[in-house]
Every structure is written in C-alpha cells, then in structure tokens.
Amino acid sequence: MEQVYLAIVLAPLLAAIVVGLGGSRMARAWAHRLTIAGVGISFALSLVVARDVFVLGAPVFDGAVYTWLVSDGLRLEIGFLIDSLSAVMMTVVTFVSLMVHIYTIGYMKDDPGYARFFSYISLFTFGMLMLVMANNFLQLFFGWEAVGLVSYLLIGFWFKRPTAIAANLKAFLVNRVGDLGLLLGIAAIFMYTGSLAYSEVFAAAPALVGQTTHVIGDYHWQVTTLICILLFIGAMGKSAQVPLHVWLPDSMEGPTPISALIHAATMVTAGIFLVARTSPLFELSVTALTFVLVIGAVTALFMGLLGLVQNDIKRVVAYSTLSQLGYMTVALGVSAYAAGMFHLFTHAFFKALLFLAAGSVIIAMHHVQDMRQMGGLRKYMPITYWTCLIGALALIGFPGFSGFYSKDAIIEAVSLSGIPGAGLAWWAVLLGVFITALYTFRMIFMVFHGQPRMDEHTREHLQESPWVVTLPLVLLAVPSIFIGALTMGPMLFGGLFDDAISVLPQHDVLAMLAAKGYTDAWSFLIHGLQAPAVWLAAAGVLVAWVCYVWQPHLPGVFARVLAPVYRVLDRKYWFDELYLKLFAPAGRGLGRVFWQFGDVRLIDGFLVNGTARAVGRLAGVARRAQTGFLYHYALVMITALALLMGWLLFLR
C-alpha cells in the first residue's frame, strides 16, 4: 500500500514542479492538463484508500517512508498514518482540489500567471496531503508550514496590488504567531514523551496525567494542559480563531478559487484536524478543552455578527467561514471530535460551493465584488443561482441538507456537555444559527433578487459562466445536499473514527446523544424540527427577506438607530487597529530604538568610536610632551634625577 500513498502525495507535487519550472515554456493548456492529471490521480487513489479503510476494513497503516533525522536518540521520520481520519481528509482535500482545478480553467482564463497559479494549487494539495497523512508531529508541522507558504504565495498572487501583498504578509505573520505555539507544543511533547511519532506519544500520554510543571511563579500547570493549549494556539492561527482570526478576511485578496480551496474547505480546517488527531491528549485536560470551547464559541458568534455588515460578497462568505470554524472548535471543546470532523466534512463541500458561486458572480460582474452593485442576477445566471442557493441552505442548516445534520449535532452535543463553559457556548451557537441565516440570505437576496443595481454596461454583458465553472458548482451542490444524511450515521454514531479519535466515557456527549435514539438521518431530522435551531434559522431567513426584499430601507434605519453597535461591527471590534496601529508600529519602533540608540549611539558611538576618540585625545595630550626642545628634555631629566636622588638619600 505504501506505493499508493506515495503516489497520492507525489502526483500533485510532480505536476507542481513540472508546471512551475516549465510553465512559461509550455502551452497554457498543459499547465492545467498536467496538474489536473496529478490531482485526479490523487483523488482516484484516495477513493481507493477510502474504500479500503471504510468498506473493506483495512487495518490502520502506520509506516515510515524515510528517516529525516536522528539526533540524540530522537528518530524523526517522514511517514504515513492512514486511518479513518486521514482517509476522510484525503478524500475531501483531493475532491475539492480537483473541483477547484477545473474551475480555475475558467476563472483564471486570461490571467498572465496561469501556469504559476496551477503550480501553486497543486503544490498546496501536496502540502495539505502531507499534513493530513502524517504519522508524526514533525511532518504535521512540515505540511502545516507548507500550506502556509502556498497560502502566502496565493493571497499575494496578484502581487502588483498593494492590498494583496499587505494581506499575504499579515496572513503569514499572524499564522507564525500560532506556529510558535505549535512548535513549543511539539517541543513539550518531545520533552515529556521522548518521541514525536503519534503512536508513541499517544501511548505515553496517560502517564502524563498528574505531572505538573512551572511556567510562571509557583503555579502548577498540568503537563497535559500546557501541551494542549500550546498545540491549540497553533490551531487558532491556522483555523483563524479569535484573536488570531484577522488574516482570514484579508486573505480574500487572493483569487477566488483559492479562497474556496485554501481559505474555506481545507487549509483553515487544519487546526480542527490537529485537535481531532491529538484527541488522546486533549481528553486528558478539561482545562484545555474549556479553553478550546470558549475560543470556539466566541469565534462562532462574534465573527458571524461581522458577516451582517459586510458588502463585499467574498467577505460575507469569509466571515461565515470564521463562524463555522468556531462551530467546529466548539464541537472539539465538548469532546465531540467526530461532530467537529463531520461539520468540517460537510462544510468543505458547501463552503467551497459558496465561494465558487461567488466567484462565478464575480466573473459575470467583471470583478466587481460589492453586493450593493448587484441584484437580480437570478435570471441571468440560473445555474449559479440555484447552486448558490443550495450552498446557502446547507450553510444555514435547512432540514435535510448536509449542514443541518452537522450543525445540529454540534448544538445537541453542546447542550449535553457538562464541561465548564458549555452553557454559555450553547447560547452562542444557538444565536449563531439565527445570525448565519440572516447574513447568508442577506447575501442571496442582495445578489440574486430585487432590482439590478449595476451599471448599464455590466448588465448588458451579464451571462452565465462557462461550463468549466458551472460543472464544479453542480458537482459540489450534490454532496452539499446529500452527503450529510448519507454519512451522518457512521460518522457520528457508527464509530467510524474509533481507530483515530479517543474520547473518555465521561466526556462522550455523542454517545449520550446516541442513547436518545436519533441515530439515523430520518429520526434526527424529525427531532431537529422540534428543536429551536431550525426555527431560528427560519426566522433569520425571514428577517433577511423583510430587510432586503420587502422593505429595503430598513437596514439603513437599523444602522442609524443602532449606530454604536453598527460602528463596533463595521470596525470589526478594532482588532485590525490593535494589530496594525499598535503592534506593528511598536515592533518597528522598537527596532528603530534598539538600532539607533543601542547599536548606533551606545555601542558604536560611545564604546567603539568613543574608545577610538579617547585614544586619539590621549595621544594628543601625550604628544605635547614631545616638544623637540632640548632644554625641556634636559629640565625633565635633571628634575627627575634630583627627585630620585632625594628619595634615595632622605626618604629611604
């Protein structure tokens, strides 16, 4: 099997290298042919692997490919761990990546960086696969940073735009703050377990319970808490949790296909995957789980609120991604890892769909992204409209759609959890449902319904996008509707992830949920209709309809009446100001002070050149003694002789 796994990661890498190095010399068509072939091979083989794992029940594969480094008894290997968790991720990553590759043929049709773009997204696919298939923390970190690199390159793909190159630097640096946490977490794991291989670390984990360490002062930290919080700081960077979320909205400066692939479906879920993968560690620290839960709940609610005031179509979807990542994090916090993974899984399809649909709108609008200039697009682009509507319904949790199952499972799980913070988190995720429905249908109504608001020229040229764009929309719409109902049973209650995720019995909210008996799609649906979430979503859609179709003047009224609230949301809680106007200038200012005062004035000015000056001055003084007049020397000699004699004769 190892050759198959190698082929899965190497096919996109090879395509990326060939197209990246030779792209400028080959016909444009070859750029997408080669990369699509590479990703296609990966996808096909991932399906084979998924079949082996899920249908044929192949045992977990855990093997090394090569030894990266051996130092001080620590053997670091590059290798694969293929279990249910990685098999799900591989399938999602390669499928969405394939869709995005096809879509890109249409979206980037006229871009001069065509080959470069394909090379990057194939490279991304390689990095992401390395991340999810890793059997150790080193390789995880390798993939983690590799996808971060490609994200950086792709956000700044249009490197002439000042906003794009500001956004990519910001994304990289904010992620690096998280990565510092992850790296220290890895260092802690090495210190306390002596290994970085998942299997050895998880085997050693139970022995860590009860061990404590000092970080600040005399306070005793549980070792497991320290490790998990450090790891989760890494996850907060990649999965854009508050307060490390600021890079994700700005990442929309990149071309839309990568917003779908990297900044919605795959890379940003790496943090969720990390926590699920390390569930044997997180289970050992309730403190860390509470931390995860609170961060997730805050992100789910407060980032959703920001979606209400955005006018850029991509930014609405971006804030929705932040909020949904919050939902996944909440699931992790209540030990419902499987529910988090399930939401990750369904979200990948419908969020990629929403982004690609938004991209299709943007193509038709000639790269105008402001929803205030859209409206009435439904009749010009029916396929985009219907698929986008499907994505929206899935996102708000319309009964029966994919998102319904995964989101309801999370809400139910939170309500059953006894972990500190679960009560507040429940209100946050419940309120979040209303908010989600409101901003999502605000977008649908503003873009597709009502009167067209674009200029005459744009309207005349409105048309449905070509088939390479609409085909991926349709192919993503299908799982957005059905995949939730189909996979809910095994993923949540069937023990699909039992070989990868471990949950302590007292934390196992999904087992409690299963005990209620709603374990099949139909009864879960019926149960869901009796719960508040569905009705909150309906209320959200209704309010959106009132405000943006029936009485379009209302939002303006609200903005005036609730001016302070609006301002808080419009300024995005001033996080950007905090970072860009305080931290960044402070860093640069500190650099200038250290340099100008420390290096230039103190060390060079005072010590180095000061010493040189002092030597010079001393020499200047000493030089005066050398007058060259004979009688001066004679006088000194005679005086000295007299003093010496006097001392010898009288004082001794």
Nearer Cβ to other proteins (285/335): 285
Question: What's the CA gap between 192 and 281, in Å, rounded?
Answer: 12
CA atoms within 13 A of residue 160's CA, in its CB half-sphere: 2
Task: For residue 237, state whether it binds other proteins (rule: CB under 8 A).
Answer: no
Nearer Cβ to other proteins (158/482): 158
Smallest gap from Cβ 171 to other proteins, in A, equals 10
Residue whose C-alpha is closest to residue 116's, from 19, 205, 38: 19
Residue whose C-alpha is closest to residue 94's, from 61, 57, 127: 127
Among 62-70, 91-99, 422-430, 500-508, the segment contacting other proteins (CB under 8 A): 62-70
Nearer Cβ to other proteins (17/471): 17
Per CB under 8 A, contacts with other proteins among 103-142 are 138, 141-142
Preceding peptide of 472 cis, ω within 30°:
no
Smallest gap from Cβ 606 to other proteins, in A, equals 11
Question: What's the CA gap between 306 and 571, in Å, rounded?
Answer: 9
Nearer Cβ to other proteins (58/173): 173
Task: For residue 578, state whether it binds other proteins (rule: CB under 8 A).
Answer: no
Neighbours of 189 (CB within 10 A): 24
3-state secondary structure of 219: coil
Q: Which of 608, 618, 637, 641 binds other proteins (CB under 8 A)?
A: 608
Smallest gap from Cβ 543 to other proteins, in A, equals 42
* Number of residues counted as binding other proteins (CB under 8 A): 55
Q: Which of 1, 6, 48, 67 binds other proteins (CB under 8 A)?
A: 67
* Widest pairwise Cα distance in the chain: 123
Among 88-96, 143-151, 261-269, 483-491, the segment contacting other proteins (CB under 8 A): 143-151
Q: What is the DSSP string of 241-288?
A: -TTS-THHHHGGGS-HHHHHIIIIISGGGHHHHHHHHTHHHHTT-HHH
Smallest gap from Cβ 546 to other proteins, in A, equals 45
Angle between the 382-396 and 422-448 helix axes, to the nearest 10 degrees? 170
Nearer Cβ to other proteins (176/581): 176
Neighbours of 268 (CB within 10 A): 28
Task: For residue 73, state whether it binds other proteins (rule: CB under 8 A).
Answer: yes
Task: For residue 613, state whether it binds other proteins (rule: CB under 8 A).
Answer: no
Task: For residue 219, state whether it binds other proteins (rule: CB under 8 A).
Answer: no
Per CB under 8 A, contacts with other proteins among 252-311 are none
Q: Which of 498, 520, 570, 604 binds other proteins (CB under 8 A)?
A: 604
Neighbours of 437 (CB within 10 A): 27
Nearer Cβ to other proteins (162/505): 162
Per CB under 8 A, contacts with other proteins among 161-190 are 162, 165-166, 169, 172-173, 176-177, 179-180, 183-184, 186-188, 190
Question: What's the CA gap between 10 and 401, in Å, rounded?
Answer: 35
Nearer Cβ to other proteins (185/257): 185
For 12, 236, 274, 339, 560, the CA distances from 133, given in Å and listed in that order, are 14, 21, 12, 20, 51
Nearer Cβ to other proteins (146/231): 146
Question: What's the CA gap between 530 and 519, in Å, rounded?
Answer: 16
Torsion, CA 574, CA 577, CA 578, CA 579, rounded to 10: 130
Helices marked H in 156-204: 162-193, 198-204
Token pair 């970080």: residue: 215
Torsion, CA 461, CA 467, CA 468, CA 473, rounded to 10: 100
Q: Is the dihedral of CA 351, 356, 357, 363 positive or negative?
A: positive
For 77, 215, 325, 457, the CA distances from 147, given in Å and listed in that order, are 20, 31, 18, 40
Tokens of 102: 């096809």
Among 146-154, 507-515, 530-538, 542-550, the segment contacting other proteins (CB under 8 A): 146-154
Per CB under 8 A, contacts with other proteins among 439-478 are none
Question: What's the CA gap between 472 and 479, in Å, rounded?
Answer: 11
Per CB under 8 A, contacts with other proteins among 532-551 are none
Q: Which of 203, 529, 563, 590 binds other proteins (CB under 8 A)?
A: 590
Smallest gap from Cβ 230 to other proteins, in A, equals 9
Task: For residue 595, state whether it binds other proteins (rule: CB under 8 A).
Answer: yes
Question: What's the CA gap between 52 and 5, in Å, rounded?
Answer: 12
Phi, psi of 60 (to 5 degrees): -60, 135
Nearer Cβ to other proteins (135/346): 135
Smallest gap from Cβ 184 to other proteins, in A, equals 6
Task: For residue 160, state whether it binds other proteins (rule: CB under 8 A).
Answer: yes
Question: What's the CA gap between 378 and 385, in Å, rounded?
Answer: 6
Task: For residue 379, state whether it binds other proteins (rule: CB under 8 A).
Answer: no
Among 70-78, 304-312, 531-539, 626-634, the segment contacting other proteins (CB under 8 A): 70-78
Q: What does the per-residue mask of binding to other proteins show for 13-42, with x meaning CB under 8 A?
A: -----------x------------------
Nearer Cβ to other proteins (191/207): 191
Smallest gap from Cβ 299 to other proteins, in A, equals 22
Question: What's the CA gap between 507 and 505, in Å, rounded?
Answer: 5
Task: For residue 149, state whether it binds other proteins (rule: CB under 8 A).
Answer: yes
- Summarize as ranges the residues that interact with other proteins (CB under 8 A): 24, 66-74, 138, 141-142, 145-146, 149, 152-153, 156, 159-160, 162, 165-166, 169, 172-173, 176-177, 179-180, 183-184, 186-188, 190-191, 194, 213, 215, 587-588, 590-592, 594-596, 598-599, 603-604, 607-608
